[in-house]
Amino acid sequence: MFKNIKSIKNFGIFKDTKTNAGQPFLQFNLFYGFNYSGKTTLSRIFRAMQQGHLHEDFAGATFTVERHEGASVSSAALTPITNLRVFNSDYIKDNVNFIDSSVNPVLIVGEPNIELETELKRIEDVDIPAKELERDQHKKSADDKQAEKDNRLKTVGQVVSALNVLGGSTFTRTGVTPLLTQVTAKDLKTCAELDQLMDTARSKQADTVNLASIKTPDITVLLEQIESVLAESVTRTTIEELEANAVLRKWVEDGLKHHHEPEVCQFCKNPLTADRLDELNGYFSDTYKNLSTKINAAIKQVQGISLSHSIPKATNLYADLQQGYDALSDQIQPLDEQVEGVKNSLLKALEDKRERMEEIVPFSPSDYPMPDALELVQLFNTPINEHNRRSLQHGAEQTKARDAIKRHYAYAETTEYDHPEATIQVKAFKDEHQATLTEIIRLNTRIREIKAELRNVKQGADNLNDNLRLYFGKTDIEIQPIGETYQFVREGRPAKHLSDGERTAIAFAYFITELEDESLKGTKPIVYLDDPICSLDSNHIYNVLGIIKDKLNHDKVEQLFISTHNFEFFNLVKTWFSYYQRKPRRAQFYLVNRKVDQSSICELPELLLNYKSEYAYLISKIKEAIQHPEQFDAISVQAYIRKILEVYFSFRFNLSEFKKQGQDFIAPNFLKGIEGAEVKSSTLYEYMNEKCHAKSIVQGLELPEAVQPQLVHIWDIIGEAIRTNDKPHYDAYYA
């Protein structure tokens, strides 16, 4: 079901309308609106959803309609809604040909045809079940043969897999199938050949081994630093006992760090004079200390010199490559000793420098060469490279062995089972299966043809005539099937010059009959009725309502929309819908309200919802137009005035016309006793008859500022007349 109209833009009189007054659509929905308010335009939105495309006059319009369930319907992506049916002026134009007095037939199941029904029963009960059984048998034969063939191929894969020669790979039916057409007798192996292949396939691939590495330290920069240190010298005060004893000198040098003030010796606790401190500090000067620091730093770096090496174990190599490999490791020790010799020589030179800090000590970096390990590294890596080459080739050899094993067993399978013949048999069974499917399709097509022949256009015509009789209550116009159409007939001749009421009746009866068409069989429709009562012929209101209540009640429609400008019909439908106001509430009421040049969908005012007087409502609208002219247009207010006076003349004077054959009924009746009655009568008559039915769109949409003074003048004439001649009525409605 539709939930609400979320938006309408540039759709005729609906410029920018949002939601339906905030009230969701229910199962039954009634719209009331005056002429030109936009009721038919609203129905065209629903007809666009029915047909799946916009009306040609609204190509640039957009709308979105929400549903209670499911996705919204948008004008940007319309597809036909199959159970939606809309009755409006466009439906009448598209379906009823009043020039030829004809309509298209309605397809309804008609009278029985014994021969066709017998054929239909035989096809449905005998032929199709037999063919379906045959179809199933052929399918089972094809499936069984294919399964037999597939199972044998599956077994081949399982046999090879059980040999434990595939490593991590698999050998399934899909792998066996292509080999059947590739293998030859050459692929069949002897037992010895097969054993050898399996040994290769099962063997484990040795891991590749990292290359050997022997690194001698690079001391080029360090030698330059040492050469620089040994070339420095310091000048200092001589203290003989320190010069003669290096250990004592070192001890005193370290002890000075704890004697910054002349007090007592921290070792012997005897007094330590300032002169003695100055003497010692003079010996150990800043220059001396700086050089001593450099010597210590160089010694520390030299102590870090060592030979580094990474040699893979011989057991990581293939067995035949291990011979002589361990012997190479014995050559690392001499290299290590040579590095240690250089390190010790450098340490000795630095320690010597510490003893002779006031001298420049000769030093030559070339006297301290590091050994060359490149040749030994190459000797290690020769067997390692060979090992890695073999390891990488092992995978290719293993793959070759595994393929040979697969081909051996695939060829053996071809000698035990005829797979090509099995394939031919499967295809034959499938062809038989397809043939039976084709025959079933043909039989179903014949069923549709028979059912189409059993449909009877006469039954549709009879139903349409029944609906016409319900509408008119008489049978002067009938529908007769003529060839492929229905002809409107009156007194045996094509009905011409039909009145608007008759045209509406025929179109509406045809619409109701179409709802019985087999296209809606088993489906509850969503129905939209726009003014099923002609404005010029409302004699059949009760008949129309009876048809709607019978054909479109709660049990027969998914959702019903009715829009009308006929107040009497509106009240009748409102009374019927009020029954559905009870819980659960299934009815909703709306007003299609026009203000100036655009319309909106509003909640029905309480005055119209709770009372049956259109007269009182129209008076309230005129009063509102006088106070707020910007909200109204000329067409609306002038139509309101005419309707008010028509109602008043009917019940007050029993008159249905304001003038007839030149005789004025306004001045002597309505304006009785009013000064200038004749002039005012002409003013009223011109306003109602010339202005009310606008002769152009420009005149109908005059600016409110232009029509408001004239409206006030007209309303003053009406108020004066009723106040003078019918004071109680004036007090009740106009005061």
Give yes or no: residues 200 and 223 share one domain.
no
Range of the domain at 321: 213-379
Residue 584: cis peptide before it, omega within 30 degrees of 0: yes
Task: Please report whether residue 444 resides in a domain.
Answer: no
Q: Is residue 597 domain-shared with residue 649, that is, in the same domain?
A: no
d(CA 322, CA 312): 11
The pLDDT assigned to 592 comes to 92
**Assigned domain for 443 exists:** no
Let me know if 371 is exposed, middle or buried by CB neighbors in 10 A (0-12, 13-18, 19+): middle
Same domain, 220 and 369: yes
The predicted pLDDT at position 695 comes to 40
User: Is residue 141, in this structure, part of any structural domain at all?
Assistant: yes
319/236 same-domain check: yes
Interatomic CA distance for residues 510 and 461, integer angstroms: 9
In the prediction, which pLDDT does 11 show?
93
Q: What is the pTM of this model?
A: 0.49
Whether residue 459 lies inside any domain: the answer is no
Domain match, 186 and 254 both:
no
CA distances from 592 to 55, 76, 481, 606 (A): 20, 25, 40, 14
* Nearest-angstrom CA–CA distance, 316 and 637: 108
What pLDDT shows up at residue 111? 46
Residue 696, pLDDT score: 38
> Domain total for the chain?
4
Examine residue 184 and state whether it is found in any structural domain, yes or no: yes
Domain termination site, one of 538, 573, 606: 606
Do 367 and 426 lie in a common domain? no
Instruction: From 346, 379, 412, give the residue that closes a domain.
Output: 379
- Residues 253 and 370 reside in one and the same domain: yes
Whether 375 is covered by a domain: the verdict is yes
Q: Both 348 and 258 in a single domain?
A: yes
Q: How many CB atoms are closer than 10 A to CB 76?
A: 8
pLDDT of amino acid 232: 86
Q: Is residue 694 part of a domain?
A: yes
Provide the CATH number for the domain around residue 582: 3.40.50.300
Q: How far is CA 655 from CA 646, 659, 660, 690, in A?
A: 8, 10, 11, 20
Run of H or E including 488: strand 485-490
pLDDT attached to residue 710: 85
The answer on 288 and 272 residing in a single domain is yes
Tell the burial category of 399 from Cβ atoms under 10 Å away from its Cβ (0-12, 13-18, 19+).
Answer: middle
Residues 28 and 68 in one domain: yes
Task: Give the C-alpha separation, 386 to 680, whole Å.
Answer: 126
Do 29 and 93 have their domain in common? yes
Q: How far is CA 648 from CA 250, 614, 657, in A?
A: 137, 12, 11
Distance, in Å, from the CA atom of 162 to the CA atom of 165, rounded to the nearest integer, reads 8
CA distance 526 to 576: 18
Would you state the pLDDT for residue 331? Answer: 92
Alpha helices in 112-256 (DSSP H): 114-122, 128-162, 173-176, 191-202, 220-230, 240-244, 246-255
| pLDDT average per 10 residues of sequence, the chain (735 residues) | 93 86 89 88 94 88 92 93 93 78 54 74 93 94 93 91 87 90 91 83 84 92 91 67 63 66 70 62 67 90 91 84 88 92 92 86 91 92 88 83 91 90 93 95 90 63 74 70 71 76 81 79 90 68 88 92 91 90 86 85 85 82 85 79 90 88 90 92 86 43 59 92 92 85
Q: Is residue 439, in this structure, part of any structural domain at all?
A: no
Measuring CA to CA, how many Å separate 376 from each of 11, 211, 327, 381? Answer: 95, 12, 11, 9
- Given 379, 403, 425, which residue is the final one in a domain? 379
User: How do strand 559-564 and strand 96-97 relate by DSSP bridges?
Assistant: unpaired
On the 0-12 / 13-18 / 19+ scale of CB atoms within 10 A, 625 is: buried
3-state secondary structure 71-108: CCEEHHHCCCCCCEEEECHHHHHHHEECCCCEECCCCC
Q: Which residue has the tokens 């106040």?
A: 723
pLDDT of residue 497: 76
Residues 683 and 724 in one domain: yes
Distance CA 173, CA 170 (A): 10
Find out whether 246 and 206 touch, Cβ atoms under 8 Å.
no
